Amino acid sequence: MTFSGEFFAFMALALVAIIGGVLLLNLNKVVHMVVALIFTFVSIAGIYILLSAEFVAAVQVLIYSGAITIIMLFGIMLTKPYDESEATTGKWRKILVFLGVLGFAFAVYLGIYHLDIQQVPTTLHEDNTLQIGKALYSKYIIPFEFVSVLLLVALIGAIILAKREDKEGDKE
């Protein structure tokens, strides 16, 4: 492994991403957890750029560090924000979950450690957005349309679920 600029960029981005995740697990206030996760999302966008996926990186910044973080902050602020007491019971459960996750990580790591795929030159970095657009509108046109239907269903469903039911007397 040579120490090139790409290597250092990857290490820095990976470090920031993991630190954001660890802060998510360890901070006390709920708002701080969400803000810590913004670091993770932005560094994942940087990782996408390293993998020559510029369009996905832009979408990552817009959707995750923008939209989803803001909607989660709204969710925290519309519910009761200042009750951050941790459950007193469940110490054993946490330890068991931690061991289980550790075992899972070890099992998957055994699978990916010796992974050695011959690297082939790609043209993904040339006109990345153009390639994605061509694929979306030719090969993936049916799933693309289904995603639009899915977003419409999610929009209507979210509005109906979150609508205030203050006219309960009229419904009866």
Partner 1 sequence: MSSVPASAFLALALILFCIGLYGALTKRNTVIVLISIELMLNAVNINLVTFSKYGVSPSINGQVFALFAMAVAAAEAAVGLAILMALYRNKKTVHIDEMNEMKH
Q: Minimal distance in Å, beta carbon 152 to partner 1?
A: 10
Residue ranges in 5-44 that form contacts with partner 1 under rule CB under 8 A = 6-7, 10, 14, 17-18, 21-22, 24-25, 30, 33-34, 37, 40-41, 44
The CB-of-96 to partner 1 minimum distance in angstroms stands at: 10
Q: Which amino acid is at 108?
A: V
Q: Which residues contact 55 (CB under 8 A, 6 or more apart)?
A: 128, 129, 132
109 or 171: whose CB is closer to partner 1?
109
Contacts with partner 1 by CB under 8 A: the residue count is 89
Q: How far is the CB of 113 from partner 1 (least distance, A)?
A: 6
- Contact call for residues 142 and 149 (beta carbons, < 8 A): no
Instruction: Give CA–CA dist 109/115, Å, rounded.
Output: 10
CB contact at 8 A, 45 and 61 = yes
Name which position in 12, 142, 155, 171 contacts partner 1 (CB under 8 A).
155
First and final C-alpha spacing in the chain: 71
Q: Which is nearer to partner 1, 1 or 167 (CB)?
A: 1
- Count of C-beta atoms within a 10 Å radius of residue 37: 20
Binders of partner 1 among 51-80, rule CB under 8 A? 51-53, 55-56, 59-60, 63-64, 67-68, 71-72, 74-76, 78-80
Interface with partner 1 in residues 124-153 (CB under 8 A) = 124, 128, 131-132, 135-136, 139-140, 143, 147, 150-151, 153
Query: Coil, helix or strand for 83?
Result: coil
Asked if 65 and 45 touch (Cβ cutoff 8 Å), the reply is: yes
